[in-house]
Amino acid sequence: VATPKTVIWTPDPHTKAKHQILSGYLDAYFPIVTKQFSDAGVAFIDAFSGPGEYEDGSDGSPIIALESARASVGGNSTTPLKFIFIEKERDRFDHLADLLTQRTLPATTTIESRHGHCADVLTPLIDELEITNWPMFVNCDGWGVDTPYTLIEAVSRTKRPEVMVTISTQWFMRFADTTEGAAGDKVFGDASWRQVANVPTTEKKRWLVERYRRRLADAGFEFQLTFELVDEMGHPLFLIFGTHSVHGVEKMKDSMWRVDSSSGSRFRDPRDPNQTAFDLSDSEPTLEVLEGQILEHLGRSGVQSLKNLQEFALRETIFKKTHAVKAVTRLETLNKVTAQHAKAYKNYMVTLADPSLF
Ligand SMILES: C[S@@+](CC[C@H](N)C(=O)[O-])C[C@H]1O[C@@H](n2cnc3c(N)ncnc32)[C@H](O)[C@@H]1O
């Protein structure tokens, strides 16, 4: 992966979408957790903070997070908010430090910036700052091959952690059977990912994403949400979100579905075998992918209530609960499922019209 060497750089097309997702999520996250954990505090950790801005003048993730807290909570809360920024390149670290001194912070907000490798810095810092009982959102936005699994494990031991990890599957496909693959072992926490070398080419990407989800689950992140951003050149980038809270999954999806089409990225559900890319918008989402996933799910599991299908959509796909209702209604119109309308209409049972197809 060619990575920028300069202090600041031109953002790639994925960056805008990534930032819209982050700020949309934090706008919902900060007000909820500052209220819920008012007797403790709330931490936002940028393990790969970068310099804080881009060559085109747009904000980097540390500034986006501070701005989201200011706009969504401001001075309306007495809950301590701690922002932890870690950056390994000295010049980028200094650049961010300069930007931070220009900002006025609410009295409840503190910033801890550290120069160094997040793998070395973060775990002792969590102890030193005594924030193990605080909810924390940890942004692991490296170059796609650099979030150590040991860091994920350390974060998972705190009280209410959430992580968002950037993963570049291209690298893992390329280096699975080479000595450079050692960097991948650190990300997955073991060498199991290298089995990708034996997976058929068309399945590799999906397989790797599933493997990483599994590793987040192994670390204790009960819910994982993955989505793929695709730029104009077709380069994929995965964002994998891990949380203990199904509410967190819902809020992350809301944010993702608000990303505007001008972000230059399209989305793919990594679990869609047809790998359909589409734009996200709340008004007219493309639901064919979800319809296919629901049919497949019904084929595997038999009759399901609408509520279960909504849960399935929420937990197992990139779609929202509301999309499941629309998809089922359309499948019914297409005579692909039959819906047995029970008294509690909102929770009727759904079966495949022709189970022999699955
Ligand atoms: C993709 S950029 C981060 C962009 C930033 N999150 C944003 O959205 O504005 C990755 C940054 O992580 C830094 N970095 C790479 N490896 C690191 C490590 N092990 N620990 C801390 N920082 C690291 C790089 O120098 C680079 O500035």
Cβ–ligand 1 distance for 146 under 6 Å, the answer yes
Residue among 78, 49, 54, 81 nearest 68 (CA): 81
Q: What are phi and psi of 266, to 5 degrees?
A: -110, 170
The pLDDT of 252-281, averaged and rounded, is: 82
The pLDDT of 328-353, averaged and rounded, is: 84
The pLDDT of 26-47, averaged and rounded, is: 97
Cβ–ligand 1 distance for 14 under 6 Å, the answer no
Task: Report the atom number in ligand 1 closest to the C-alpha of 139.
Answer: 6
Cβ–ligand 1 distance for 143 under 6 Å, the answer yes
Find the 118 Cα to ligand 1 centroid distance in Å: 9
The pLDDT tens digits of the residues spanning 84-143 come to: 999 999 999 999 999 999 999 989 999 999 999 999 999 999 999 999 999 999 999 999
Cβ–ligand 1 distance for 48 under 6 Å, the answer yes
Contacts of 343 (CB under 8 A, 6+ apart): none
Find the 183 Cα to ligand 1 centroid distance in Å: 16
Find the 155 Cα to ligand 1 centroid distance in Å: 18
> Cα(189)–Cα(181) distance, rounded to whole angstroms?
12
- Considering only CA atoms, give the Rg of the chain: 21
Find the 237 Cα to ligand 1 centroid distance in Å: 15
pTM, 2 dp: 0.94
The pLDDT of 41-54, averaged and rounded, is: 98
> Cα(95)–Cα(89) distance, rounded to whole angstroms?
10
Find the 105 Cα to ligand 1 centroid distance in Å: 24
User: What pLDDT shows up at residue 227?
Assistant: 87
pLDDT of residue 1 exceeding 60, the answer is no
From 87, 151, 167, 238, mutation site for ligand 1 pocket: most ligand atoms within 8 A of C-beta: 87
Find the 197 Cα to ligand 1 centroid distance in Å: 28
Cβ–ligand 1 distance for 55 under 6 Å, the answer no
DSSP state of 53: B
The pLDDT tens digits of the residues spanning 210-264 come to: 999 999 999 999 999 998 998 877 788 999 999 999 999 999 999 998 888 777 7
User: What pLDDT shows up at residue 357?
Assistant: 67
